[in-house]
Structures are given as structure tokens and as C-alpha cells.
């Protein structure tokens, strides 16, 4: 027997009431194999992983769980798990708990729920019941995916252009899809439908929009009476076969359009209603949000968020509508943006795995497969894909192209048929640096190229971490040492110590923007030269493509140049995201402007870099350990005076808010899932004697450069920095 103090009893009672009595304290966000609606998809793993969210309050921290899986909803509601009853498992894990029950049957529906106990061993209410449906279960490994979704959208405006049945409709945003029209006709007739992304004048679709900006003219045959028609979009030959991703027959062909015009050919026919039928991957807009004191950046973020959603129309990340081909560079930016916008991981994994077997030709993009594989692991916490594709990922480092000093090149005679076969490509690979060619900032493209070797270093560094996650200690050591060798060689042979910047490569005396942003983004820059390299990068402005902007912004935030990064994201010149909005597009462009790439399209997600850099750079919200077991929040706010953000993670949402007048105070509020530890960096910058308060209590903060650093458990926290009457320089 033991006695509890009155305080302990009170705490237990309060925690019990808060945990068991509040309906929000039950586990939420159930997923099977990272599918949010697994009853609609196909779970293709014989031992699927179950994931749930415990909550965002400290009292909801999980200490144990029990999973029940049943063959019917009725049995499960009665507390019977006839396929699996895990029993009470003492663990705080809520991410990808593998099924361990009776063998699952293919093409069959099952039902599951989870019950958790909190940190005081108080049993909470159970989750809602979730249905999941298995697929064929006939492959050793296969990523589970969701079917595409159709959303019916009514026009924001619709006007009659004349009295003879000519209508114009604006749906507000471009989407990949088709049109649904209700037509009334007194006889058999035909109408002309115009669909397009661009206007030539108010209320008039541009029939010759230029580039690969889409316009389609379709004649629709209608019958007598009032009927609802769904427009059949004729396929474009280039998009109807491999290597393009072909639309599933159940969905049908789509085209990107924001506007439509309808011309009725006779007075006997009239249009009664018109709707856009938009197609995209499973998506939840409520999972993420962002606002700040800069109105331009708010609109840029909205543009980029929608771009990630709208371009999922194929069920795999593609480059845009001109080719509809997956490319590693596009998929890398898509992947990071998607993680920051929505708690949905299956399309990112599927796209990455598709590219392992179907790579594209640029040298450094081959190596990006390793980056995407590690991102998948960081954001999901799951090693299954890493284990299955481990040999492929080793080959994707292009280690076979290395010479004795560790540096690689495709132009030294080492590239042969075996290397190409090992990376699943038949044609020779070649360096790209940036695209189009004019966006390379004059990079001289030497045989041993700095950009290529920066990617090689990063792929080796990440392969060491991948090997460690899989328990391959010899490989971990090997790749770590190789990465160190490459880093040393890059800094000895490709770095100009007098100019404190990287050259384009071996034998080059030219220093392009690209030769510096990639080493800086990947942490290659010598400590004593970080400021000088960053200063050089800033002098080049946005001297790269929309793709290169990813690594430009990463390099600036990594170097502490947050004001420069912010200024680029909210710029209003012709090399900016604002220019895309000004041009009239609602999805990011393939390039900054038509004058930089005349054949550009208006629906390229690789132009949506701020979708991830606002989260990962400006707010510094990233996983430090796989599955967001430990997270970082490190706001680098530039000159902003306030911001709020909501970011999805596998464990639940991270929500933050800051306010500052940039002279006397900085206030930061954070809310993180109960099972997540978080390292929080609170900006103090150059304050001589900063005072830190956490949840209203003065504390002695641990200082790291221009930040106080604090480690917090799950739940809500409020940080406040004051200067005690002195001017605060943030």
C-alpha cells in the first residue's frame, strides 16, 4: 500500500477528466499505410502500418495503446477484434504500428480502432472506427495509393456576352478537369465550348495564348430536352502514351482551364448551368494555413499551396501539362511542398519510387532520388521503402563515377552501360545545373562540376544516415567517410579561398550563383567563409530558374540571411512569384516569365518553392528525427511583424504565432502534438541583455548565436523576449 498526496490525487483526477471526458482527447487522424481514407484506396501491404494522432495537450501524452482489427464494424463496435487484438502495449509510439494479426485477405474490407492510455495510465476514449480495404496483396512490396478525386466547382462569375446564347464563366482558379453543362434544347443541336487558362480581354479567352498555355475548342452535340452533359476532352497525342503518365480510364482525359465560353448555335438551345469538374489527389485544405504582415507573401503562399494541390491530377507528380512526365527535380520540390501543405504521404512516396525505375537524364537529378528517399523517411518515420530500394539508392549516389579524390564526372570515360543499367536508364546522363540553359548564371559547365559534386556529397551523407536507419553499420561508416572525402576535395579543389566563393568546377575561374548556392544549401561551406559566400549569393539576386530558387532560398536561410530570402519571396519584379500572379495564372509557372522561357506552361509545381520554404525556412519547422519524434521550430522572420502558421505532421499539426515590433519585443506561441519533443529557437539577435520568459516565468535561456534555444515537450508554450527597456534589434 502507498499513499498519494492531495496534490497527486488532484492531478490524477484533472488528467482523467481532461483525457477521458473531453471528446477531442480520443485519438484522431487515423491512417493505414499513410492513407487518410483507406476505405477508398487499396492497402497493398500484408502487414499494414497503423498511425494516429494523440492530441496537442500535455495531458494527452500517450503511454500505452491497444489496436483492434475486425472483419465487421458491428463486431468492432462490440469490442471484438476477431482479426487482431494487440492487447495493451506499453509504448508511446503512434506512427506506423505494424499489423500482427491473422492473415488479411485480398480485396476485402476490414475495420480498426485504437484506444490509448495517457501519461498517468488513465484510459482514454477510443478512436472512431475506420474502414480500410486491401488490394491484391500479391507483390513483395507495393506502395498503397488513393484514387483521384473529382470536385465540382461552380463559377465565381458567369455573364451573357450577347443575346444569342454566348456565355462566359470564370471559376476563379485553373484546375485540371473537364466541364459539366446543363443544356436545354428544343431539337438536336450542337454548341461550341472554349476552355482556357488565359484571357485576351475581359470576358474573352485567348485563342492563341502562347507557349504551352492551354486553350481548347470542343464541339458538343446535344439532344432534345434538358440534359446534363460532361464534356469529353480529346487527348493530346504526346500525353497519351509513355513516358507521359496517362490518365486512368475511370477518370478520363483532363485539361487545365480557369475560364470557359459557351456558344449556342441557335436560339432553340440555351445553357442552364455550367460547372468545373476538377481532378486531383486526395487533399484536405484545412491541414495547413499561413498569414503574415506582408500581403504579397500571403498571396504568393496561397498561389503555391494551390499549385501543389492542382498538379496532383495524374496521381503522381509530373512536370506540367506539356509533357506530363515525372522528373526528379519537380518531384523533390513537389514532395517538400506537399509535406508542408497536407498530411498525405502516399503520392510523394509513389512518385519517388516511380522515378527510381523511370529516371530522367540530368546527372544531379539521378542523385535527388536519395534526397527524396531520406525525406520520405524523415516525414513518415518508416524504413520499409528504404529497405526495399536500398541497392538502387546506393547506385543512385553515382559513386561508380568517382575518381581517387572522390569527385565525380560523367565526362571522364567512367560512364558505361553497366552504370546506366544499375540506375535503370538506357541513354547517357549529362549535367544540367539549371533549366533552361540561360538560367545557369554563366556556369561554364566544366567536366568536374561543383554543382554535380555538391549533390554527390549530399547523396553520400544521406546514404550514411539511411544505412544507419537500417542497421548497416559498415555501410554507414563507409558512406560517412566518402562524404567527408568529397567535402574535403570540393573545398580544396573547387573553392577559391581568396575570393571566398566556389568556382564552377575544376579548371574554372568563374563563380556562378549555382556553384555557390548548392554547396551552401548542403552545408559544405567552410565555417570561416559562410558569410562571404552568402554575401556573394545575395549579389546575384534571383539569378536562377524557379527550380534553382529552392536551393537559393535554402542556402540563404542556412546562412542566416533571412531578410534576403524574405525579400526574394515577396519581390514584385519579373523574376518573382508575384509576376506569376500578375500574369493571371493561379498555378505557378514553369519559368519566371515568357521572355525567359517562351514555351513555358502555366501549371508547373516546381515553381511553387515557397510552399515549403515558408514552412521550412521562414518558420524553420522541420523534423529533426524521423517521423517528427523531435521537431525544430526556428523562425527566421526578416522584417515581418507577425505571422501565424499551421503545419501538418504525421503526429498532428504544429501551430505557431509570433508578434514583434522589431524594436522592443518578440512573442512566440507554439502548440505541438503531445508525443513530439520540440527544439525551439527564439530570435534575440543582437540584444545585449535579452530577457526570456517561458509561460510567464523568467528563465535563463541557452544562447546560440542570434537565438535562445529551449527544448519543450508536447503541448502549448508561450515564449517572450523583452529588452528591459533597451531597444530590441530583431
Please state the domain extents for the chain: 6-133, 149-280, 288-349+570-617, 382-546, 630-722
Q: What is the pLDDT of residue 556?
A: 98
Neighbour count for residue 228 (Cβ, 10 Å): 11
For every residue of 615-662, DSSP letters joined together read IIIIS--EESSGGGSEEEE----TT-SEEEEEE--TT--EEEEEEE-S
CB 554 within 8 A of CB 521: yes
Round to whole Å and give the CA distance between 705 and 726: 19
CA distance 274 to 260: 9
Query: In the prediction, which pLDDT does 25 show?
Result: 58
Contact 168, 259 (CB under 8 A): yes
What letter does residue 86 receive in the DSSP assignment? -
Task: Name the CA radius of gyration of the chain, rounded.
Answer: 27
Q: Where are the alpha helices (DSSP H) in 238-383?
A: 295-310, 328-341, 346-357, 363-380
Residue found by looking up cell 564552377 in the block: 504
Q: Which CATH number fits domain 149-280: 2.60.120.10, 3.40.630.30, 3.10.150.10, 2.60.120.260?
A: 2.60.120.260
The confidence score (pLDDT) of residue 188 equals 87
pLDDT score for 440:
98
Angstrom distance (rounded) from CA 594 to CA 238: 22
Q: Quick check: 429 and 363 in contact, CB under 8 A?
A: yes
3-state secondary structure of 102: coil
Q: What is the pLDDT of residue 545?
A: 98
Among the CATH numbers 1.10.3720.10, 2.60.40.10, 2.60.120.20, 1.10.10.10, which is that of 6-133? 2.60.40.10
Query: Residue 374, Cβ neighbours under 10 Å: how many?
Result: 21
Q: CA 47 to CA 103: how far, in whole Å? A: 8
3-class DSSP assignment, residue 565: helix
The model's pLDDT over 530-564, given as tens digits with 9 standing for 90+, comes to 999 999 999 999 999 999 999 999 999 999 999 99
Which tens digits make up the pLDDT trace of 400-420? Answer: 999 999 999 999 999 999 999
The answer to whether domain 382-546 has CATH 1.10.1380.10 is no
Cis peptide preceding 436, ω within 30 of 0: yes
- What residues contact residue 629 under an 8 Å CB cut-off, 6+ apart? 381, 623, 676, 677
User: CB neighbours of 441 closer than 8 A, spacing ≥ 6?
Assistant: 434, 512, 513, 514, 540, 543, 544
SS3 for 274?
Answer: strand
* pLDDT tens digits, one per residue of 424-447: 999 999 999 999 999 999 999 999
Cα gap 313→240, rounded to integer Å? 15
Confidence at residue 58, expressed as pLDDT on a 0 to 100 scale: 65
What is d(CA 534, CA 42) in angstroms, rounded to the nearest whole number?
A: 47
Q: Under DSSP, is residue 134 helix (H, G, I), strand (E, B) or coil?
A: strand
Supply the DSSP symbol for 587: S
Q: Are 339 and 650 in contact (CB under 8 A)?
A: no
Give the single-character DSSP code of 43.
B
pTM: 0.94
- Cα distance between residue 586 and residue 322, in whole Å: 17
Q: In terms of DSSP bridges, do strands 215-222 and 289-292 run parallel, antiparallel, or are they unpaired?
A: unpaired
CA distances in angstroms from 463 to 377, 498, 554, 615, listed in the order given: 12, 33, 20, 25
Q: Quick check: 637 and 730 in contact, CB under 8 A?
A: yes
The whole-number pLDDT of residue 701 equals 78
Count helices and strands (H / E) in the chain.
17, 32
Bridge partners, residue 496, by sequence = 501
| 443 touches 504 (CB < 8 A) | yes
Does the bond joining 312 to the residue before it have cis omega, within 30 degrees of 0? no
450-469 helix and 514-521 helix, angle to the nearest 10 degrees: 20
Architecture of domain 630-722: Sandwich (2.60)
Q: Is 50 left (phi over 0), alpha (psi -120 to 50) or beta?
A: beta
- Name the stretches of the chain with pLDDT < 50: 1-24, 725, 727-730
Amino acid at each position: 500500500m502507498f499513499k498519494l498526496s492531495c496534490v497527486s490525487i488532484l492531478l490524477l483526477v484533472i488528467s482523467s477528466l481532461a483525457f477521458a471526458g473531453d471528446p477531442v482527447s480520443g485519438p484522431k487522424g487515423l491512417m493505414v499505410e499513410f492513407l487518410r481514407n483507406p476505405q477508398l484506396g487499396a492497402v497493398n501491404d500484408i502487414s499494414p502500418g497503423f498511425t494516429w494522432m494523440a492530441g496537442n495537450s500535455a495531458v494527452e501524452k500517450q503511454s500505452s495503446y491497444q489496436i483492434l482489427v475486425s472483419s465487421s464494424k458491428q463486431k468492432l463496435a462490440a469490442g471484438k477484434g476477431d482479426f487482431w487484438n494487440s492487447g495493451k502495449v506499453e509504448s508511446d509510439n503512434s506512427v506506423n504500428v505494424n499489423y500482427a494479426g491473422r492473415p488479411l485477405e485480398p480485396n476485402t474490407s476490414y475495420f480498426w480502432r485504437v484506444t490509448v492510455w495517457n501519461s498517468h495510465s488513465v484510459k482514454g476514449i477510443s478512436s472512431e472506427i475506420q474502414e480500410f480495404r486491401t488490394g491484391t496483396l500479391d507483390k513483395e512490396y507495393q506502395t498503397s495509393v488513393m484514387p483521384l478525386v473529382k470536385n465540382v466547382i461552380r463559377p465565381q462569375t458567369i455573364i451573357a456576352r450577347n443575346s444569342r446564347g454566348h456565355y462566359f464563366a470564370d471559376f476563379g482558379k485553373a484546375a485540371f478537369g473537364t466541364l459539366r453543362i446543363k443544356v436545354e434544347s428544343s431539337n438536336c443541336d450542337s454548341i461550341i465550348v472554349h476552355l482556357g487558362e488565359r484571357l485576351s480581354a475581359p470576358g474573352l479567352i485567348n485563342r492563341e495564348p502562347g507557349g504551352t498555355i492551354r486553350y481548347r475548342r470542343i464541339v458538343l452535340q446535344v439532344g432534345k430536352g434538358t440534359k446534363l452533359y460532361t464534356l469529353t476532352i480529346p487527348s493530346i497525342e504526346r500525353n497519351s502514351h509513355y513516358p507521359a503518365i496517362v490518365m486512368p480510364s475511370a477518370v478520363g482525359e483532363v485539361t487545365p482551364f480557369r475560364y470557359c465560353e459557351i456558344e449556342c448555335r441557335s436560339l432553340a438551345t440555351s445553357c442552364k448551368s455550367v460547372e468545373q469538374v476538377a481532378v486531383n489527389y486526395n487533399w484536405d485544405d484545412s491541414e495547413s494555413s499561413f498569414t503574415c504582415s506582408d500581403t504579397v507573401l500571403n498571396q504568393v503562399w496561397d498561389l503555391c499551396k494551390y499549385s501543389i494541390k492542382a498538379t496532383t491530377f495524374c496521381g503522381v507528380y509530373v512536370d506540367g501539362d506539356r509533357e506530363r512526365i515525372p522528373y526528379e527535380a519537380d518531384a523533390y520540390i513537389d514532395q517538400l511542398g506537399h509535406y508542408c501543405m497536407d498530411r498525405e504521404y502516399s503520392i510523394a512516396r509513389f512518385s519517388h519510387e516511380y522515378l527510381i525505375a523511370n529516371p530522367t537524364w540530368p546527372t544531379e537529378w539521378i542523385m535527388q532520388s536519395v534526397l527524396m528517399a531520406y525525406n520520405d523517411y524523415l516525414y513518415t518515420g518508416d524504413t520499409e521503402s528504404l529497405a526495399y530500394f536500398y541497392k538502387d539508392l546506393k547506385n543512385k549516389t553515382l559513386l561508380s563515377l568517382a575518381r581517387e579524390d572522390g569527385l565525380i564526372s560523367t565526362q571522364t570515360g567512367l560512364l558505361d552501360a553497366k552504370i546506366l543499367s544499375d540506375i535503370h536508364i538506357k541513354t547517357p546522363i549529362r549535367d544540367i545545373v539549371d533549366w533552361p540553359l540561360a538560367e545557369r548564371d554563366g556556369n561554364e559547365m566544366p567536366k568536374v562540376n561543383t554543382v554535380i559534386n555538391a549533390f554527390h556529397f549530399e547523396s553520400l551523407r544521406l546514404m550514411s544516415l539511411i544505412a544507419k536507419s537500417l542497421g548497416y553499420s559498415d555501410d554507414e561508416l563507409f558512406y560517412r567517410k566518402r562524404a567527408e572525402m568529397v567535402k574535403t576535395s570540393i573545398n580544396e579543389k573547387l573553392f577559391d579561398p581568396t575570393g571566398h566563393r566556389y568556382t564552377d568546377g575544376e579548371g574554372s575561374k568563374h563563380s556562378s550563383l549555382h556553384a555557390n548556392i548548392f554547396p551552401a544549401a548542403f552545408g559544405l561551406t567552410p565555417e570561416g567563409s559562410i558569410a562571404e559566400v552568402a554575401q556573394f549569393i545575395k549579389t546575384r539576386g534571383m539569378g536562377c530558374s524557379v527550380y534553382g530558387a529552392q536551393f537559393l532560398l535554402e542556402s540563404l536561410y542556412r546562412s542566416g540571411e533571412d531578410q534576403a530570402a524574405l525579400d526574394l519571396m515577396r519581390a514584385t519584379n519579373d523574376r518573382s512569384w508575384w509576376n506569376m500572379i500578375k500574369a493571371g495564372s493561379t498555378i505557378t509557372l514553369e519559368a519566371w516569365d515568357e521572355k525567359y522561357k517562351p514555351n513555358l506552361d502555366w501549371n508547373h509545381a516546381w515553381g511553387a518553392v515557397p510552399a515549403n520554404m515558408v514552412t521550412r525556412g521562414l518558420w524553420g519547422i522541420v523534423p529533426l528525427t524521423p517521423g517528427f519524434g523531435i521537431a525544430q521550430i526556428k523562425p527566421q522572420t526578416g522584417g515581418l511583424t507577425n505571422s501565424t502558421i499551421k503545419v501538418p505532421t504525421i503526429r498532428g499539426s504544429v501551430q505557431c504565432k509570433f508578434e514583434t515590433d522589431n524594436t522592443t519585443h518578440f512573442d512566440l506561441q507554439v502548440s505541438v502534438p503531445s508525443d513530439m519533443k520540440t527544439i525551439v529557437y527564439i530570435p534575440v539577435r543582437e540584444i545585449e541583455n535579452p530577457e526570456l520568459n517561458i509561460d510567464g516565468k523568467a528563465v535563463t535561456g541557452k544562447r546560440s548565436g542570434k537565438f535562445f534555444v529551449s527544448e519543450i515537450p508536447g503541448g502549448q508554450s508561450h515564449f517572450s523576449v523583452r529588452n528591459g527597456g533597451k531597444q530590441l534589434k530583431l
